[in-house]
Structure 1
Amino acid sequence: MSKSIDVTDLNVYYGDFLAVEDISLHIEPRSVTAFIGPSGCGKSTFLRTLNRMHEVIPGARVEGQVLLDGDDLYASGVDPVNVRRNVGMVFQRPNPFPTMSIRENVLAGVRLNNRRISRSDADALVEKSLRGANLWNEVKDRLDKPGAGLSGGQRQRLCIARAIAVEPQVLLMDEPCSALDPISTYAIEELIADLKNDYTIVIVTHNMQQASRVSERTAFFNIAGTGKPGKLIEYNETATIFTTPSVQATEDYVSGRFG
């Protein structure tokens, strides 16, 4: 199910402003890749280019290439909606639809994609997705209750269930634990470890310990100053980034000397 990502010479613009400059990297399928770096260095902006979510901002555009198993996501005629179906996203703050039940939240993406689905198939998909998000046992007796009534950690896992219900190949996570307590954070990290068996996962995090715990490879981004573009400084196996980085700025960041 999961796919590789190859990015070549990518530049991201908002109007005339160059936000992220000259990114090239390869992301392995069925793996977790962490993006780290100080605030404002382009991590989340770059993450959103991997499923064309940045395009919802007027004037946003890219130059360069993003390939999903060799298919160019930015080729002429490619539908961004189809891209987002294959490359799902979980956001920083848990955002279940407040007027929808737990069940309808899981099915929201499927309905949005106009997939016809029988009641029995919908029930099976809800259970499969909630099990995949390690939430089924906690909510199976209240599927018709509002999703907004869950705890913060449960809401985030509900959003993950909603994302995987449409059967993407890649799952992007933009600081998915930043609003959560340590126990909920641990639950999400355990879930990420399970999900990587089926999905390619890319996570933005400001938590150095989290990056070292959940990822196989880590990309360090930095920025030279206000108004300058974010750049990829170093990309390597996570153990290397945190123990023997090749760039001094990387060592300074992961050791807490700045950022």
Structure 2
Amino acid sequence: MSKQIDIDDLNIFYGDFRAVEGVSMHIEPKSVTAFIGPSGCGKSTVLRTLNRMHEVIPGASVQGKVFMDGEDIYAAGVDPVNVRREVGMVFQRANPFPTMSIKENVLAGVRLNNKRLSRSEADDLAEKSLRGANLWNEVKDRLDKPGNGLSGGQQQRLCIARAIAVEPSVLLMDEPCSALDPISTLAIEDLIHELKQDFTVVIVTHNMQQAARVSDRTAFFNIAGTGKPGNLIEFNDTDVIFSNPEKDETQNYISGRFG
């Protein structure tokens, strides 16, 4: 299922303001890529362009190309709904649907896509997805209880189960651990290692230790100043970025001299 991503000279706008300038990168399938950098440098904005979520913001637009296995997701005639089905997303704060049970939360995306499931198919898919999110053993006896009755870490894994239930090729995560305690964070990080066996994973994180722990490659973004566009400064294997970066800007950031 996993797909490679190729970004070619991507420029991202909010109205007339260029928020991100000239980003190009190649993301391998079945890998974890981390986006790091100070607040406001455009890393979450770039992430949202990978499933065309950016354009739901009024006045937002994109120039450049984003390829999934060689197909430009911004080409004329490409349905953004199909793109978002192929590229799942997990947000900073867990957002289970409060009126739905744990099981129905998992199946919500599948049902939204008008896919009809028999009861046995629904049961099997819910179990498979919850197992995929390492949550099954914790919730299997309360599948009909509200999803928002789970702990914060469990709710985040429930949202991951919901995302993978529709069988995407790519999974985007926008600071998925920022609101979690250390134990829940470790559970999500362990899960990310497992998810890359089936998905291309791209994660935005402010936690550089997390980036070092979970990712195969790391992209460092920066911004020259207020009102300036964000730029991709360096993109390389994670061990290179954190041990021997090519750019002084990268070294200064990861050593804590700014940001």
Output the TM-score relative to the length of structure 2: 1.00
Distance in 2 of aligned mates of 1:139 and 1:101: 11
Q: After superposition, where does 1:66-215 map in structure 2 within 5 Å?
A: 66-215=66-215
Paired residue secondary structure (1:81):
helix
Cα deviation 1:163-187 (Å, max 9, x = unaligned): 0000000000000000000000000
Distance in 2 of aligned mates of 1:113 and 1:48: 21
Cα deviation 1:1-57 (Å, max 9, x = unaligned): 100000000000011010000000000000000000000000000000000001110
Shift of 1:87: 0.4
Distance in 1 of aligned mates of 2:222 and 2:163: 29
- Say whether residues 1:37 and 2:37 are aligned partners: yes
- For 1:228, the equivalent position in structure 2 comes to 228
Shift of 1:117: 1.2
Distance in 1 of aligned mates of 2:92 and 2:140: 25
Distance in 1 of aligned mates of 2:61 and 2:119: 40
Distance in 1 of aligned mates of 2:141 and 2:61: 45
Paired residue secondary structure (2:158):
helix
CA RMSD of aligned residues (A): 0.4
Aligned residue type for 1:52? R
- For 1:63, the equivalent position in structure 2 comes to 63
Distance in 2 of aligned mates of 1:7 and 1:248: 24
Cα deviation 1:123-173 (Å, max 9, x = unaligned): 000000000000000000000000000000000000000000000000000
Distance in 2 of aligned mates of 1:53 and 1:84: 8
Paired residue secondary structure (1:6):
strand
Shift of 1:74: 0.3
Distance in 2 of aligned mates of 1:176 and 1:28: 21
Percentage identity across aligned positions? 80
Distance in 1 of aligned mates of 2:56 and 2:128: 30
Aligned residue type for 1:37? G
Distance in 1 of aligned mates of 2:126 and 2:171: 18
5+ residue gaps, structure 1, are none
